[in-house]
Amino acid sequence: MIPEITLVLIALAVMVILMAIGLEIAWSIGIAATVTFVLFVGQPFNQLIWSSWDAANSFTLTAVPLFVFMGTILANTGVAEALFAGIEKWLDRLPGSLACTTLTAAGIFAAMSGSGMAATSVFGKVAFPPMETRGYSPRLSLGSIAIGATLAPLIPPSILLIIYGTWQGVSVVSLFAAALVPGVILCFLYIMTAIIMVKLNPNLAPPPPRYSWREKLLALRGIFPFLLVVFGVLGSIFGGVMTPTEAASLGAFLSMALALVYKRLSWAILKTSLYDAVRVTSFGIFIYAMAVGLAHALNMMGITGQITEFVLGLPIGKYGTIALFIVMYLILGCFMGSWEMLFLTFPFVMPIISAYNIDLVWWGVLYVMLGDIGNVTPPFGMTLFVLHGIVPKYSMETVALAALPFIITTLLLVAAMVMFPQLALWFPSLLLSG
């Protein structure tokens, strides 16, 4: 009789081969799950269907298409130009002011989008042309755009955290609260990194133009509407007024209202945004449903328990295991996106995390930070592909090298998160105590 671990390796090999020949990851996982269920577990195919449907049939997940739609409206209408222009005038005295403006605007945009790809597209078109015109080095301009886009999956509302929370039975509100403080800190650290880079090498950015106080006050008209949207969505969630799904509905409405205020919303843009939202949501939820089915099959075979026992038996302890997972995700991030890593590894990783009594809220935020690094590491970082498509004269290797100093900054915060978990857990505990 073939050992169970061999059967699992066969199923995983089938999945990897299918992805290697170009089949989409959702279908690859689905076929692997089907093979495992029908041939190795001996369960009928409809058991896989019911398992997947039960996972996807969640009220919380209805927030995903609404938040995605919110981001696509903002991306397709180009209203972020007003946000960028307004912030630029207030940061005119900082070295590398346009890079700092890009990172600040990306942080605010992240609180309205949750999509790193949307953020890359928006700021690749909005921020790069003025930086290139003023003589900014590609090392600073491309690096700030690429790393700024990684704030979107971290700063709430984060689509990835919604998927994670639904799958693992963790409060999405707690996850949002836990991600907010590290997200804001990371945005600030990115800005400081850009400033230090320019201070050490003034050739990276020319001296910024100066703006009068009158121009700065007038620029607030381009900033306040976006802050009101952020306050409306996140304030309603953290204030306990709305569930994340209800707040997503509010955000979708406010994003359309914002586009109307700037006279950018048209019927064609609305249709495109709706289509983009359906496409992205279908992609994510389908992968999620198939991954849940595969996890269920592996658990029925007892493989999950065997792997958990093996890792727990290693003489490295809890923090050694966390370090092992961090290294694993940094390596996998060179070949997969954050969504793919989540769905492929969590069936094996999460039982180990639970066995060590690691806080699931804290782990979710740490994972998203690690996944964000994967989006800007070659050869398959999705942010690199998107930005290269917008600025094709620069290779993905150039973009990746430009993002490297900011990646080091991210790793420093990851280390701080491991040493001081309260960086993520302080705000959720404050909400619970209130």
49: domain range? 4-433
Contact 337, 382 (CB under 8 A): yes
Which residue in the block uniquely carries the two structure tokens 């092992």? 324
Q: Rounded distance, CA 56 to CA 26, Å?
A: 14
Average of per-residue pLDDT across 236-246:
90
Answer yes or no: is pLDDT of 137 > 80: yes
pLDDT of amino acid 1 = 44
Residue pointed to by tokens 């630029």: 88
Over residues 4-27, the pLDDT tens digits come to: 667 667 777 777 787 777 777 777
Least confident stretch, 17-31, 74-88, 187-201, 420-434: 17-31
Give pLDDT, residue 292: 78
Q: Please give the pLDDT value at position 141.
A: 94
Q: How far apart are CA 398 and CA 406, in angstroms?
A: 14
Residue 187's H or E segment, with its range, is helix 172-200
Across the range 140-151, mean pLDDT stands at 93
DSSP-assigned states of every residue in 339-376: HHHHHHHHHHHHHHHHHTT--HHHHHHHHHHHHHHHTT
- Alpha-carbon distances of 42 from 37, 46, 302, 328, rounded to whole Å: 6, 12, 14, 32
Average pLDDT of span 41-59: 71
Mean pLDDT, residues 145-155 taken together: 91
Rounded CA-CA distance 186/183 in Å is 5
Which residue type sits at 94? L
Candidate from 125-139, 312-326, 336-350, 357-371 with smallest mean pLDDT: 336-350
Measured between alpha carbons, how far is 247 from 229 in angstroms, rounded to an integer?
Answer: 11
Instruction: Round to whole Å and give the CA distance between 383 and 66.
Output: 22
Per-residue model confidence (pLDDT) at position 309? 86
pLDDT interval class at 178 (50, 70, 90): very high
pLDDT of 116 above 80: no
Number of domains in the chain: 1
Residue 2 pLDDT greater than 60, yes or no: no
Helix (DSSP H) and strand (DSSP E) numbers for the chain: 21, 0
Q: Which residue has the higher pLDDT, 362 or 210?
A: 362
Contact of 123 with 81, CB cutoff 8 Å: no
Q: Mean pLDDT throughout 373-398?
A: 84
Mean pLDDT, the chain, rounded, equals 86
Query: Using CA atoms, how far apart are residues 31 and 13, in angstroms rounded to an integer?
Result: 11
- pLDDT tens per residue across span 352-375: 999 999 999 999 999 999 988 888
Q: Which residues contact 243 (CB under 8 A, 6 or more apart)?
A: 60, 63, 237
pLDDT exceeds cutoff 50 at 222? yes
Residue 424 in this model has a pLDDT that exceeds 80 = yes
Q: Which residue has the tokens 């979708």?
A: 252
Residue 327 or residue 289, greater confidence = 327
Confidence of residue 37 (pLDDT cuts 50, 70, 90): confident
pLDDT of residue 42: 65
